[in-house]
Amino acid sequence: MTPLETAVGGAVALTACLAGLILLMRVAARGKAASEGRPGPPLLPEGIPWGRIGVGIGVVFVLGAVVALTTHIIGRRRHSRLRRADLEARHDTILAAFGGRIIDDLTDIVLNDAELVATLETARETRANANLADYAKAVHGLEAQWGKVS
């Protein structure tokens, strides 16, 4: 949770507690007046623009929800970009190692492994694809296959 979300949540909780306390005090005063046989004070004091206050509180709640949702979406996108960058770095490491093996020895048996070549091709194809889950599976499979042959 970000500091802004924490502050908004704390302000909302404090406002709700304060409003609840005031309402309870007003209800208690009305109950006491009724038990004494006299008219009690109105539940909400007159002369205060309660409609505008209610709209203002509603706007604050909506803005808090928008801020929380926006922060969540931005965080998710940032996590997705970092995960993709990590997968691409791991993929590039294996490609560099594979390229090094090609340069060192063209007759290396690893280069002729059909499963490794198919896994390399799958990883290459899914890297161009926007689906991160498929790319993650392909990179994990490539790492496993490279571990077998290297």
- pLDDT surpasses 80 at 128: yes
List pLDDT tens digits, range 12-64.
788 888 888 888 888 888 888 888 888 877 777 778 887 888 889 889 889 98
Range name among 66-80, 91-105, 107-121 with the lowest pLDDT average = 107-121
The pLDDT value recorded for residue 77 is 92
139 burial via Cβ count (<10 Å: 0-12, 13-18, 19+): buried
Of the two residues 101 and 78, the one the predictor is more confident about is: 78
10 Å Cβ neighbour count for 17? 10
Q: What would the two tokens of residue 98 be?
A: 């594979």
Q: What is the overall mean pLDDT for the chain?
A: 85
Q: Write down the pTM of the prediction.
A: 0.58
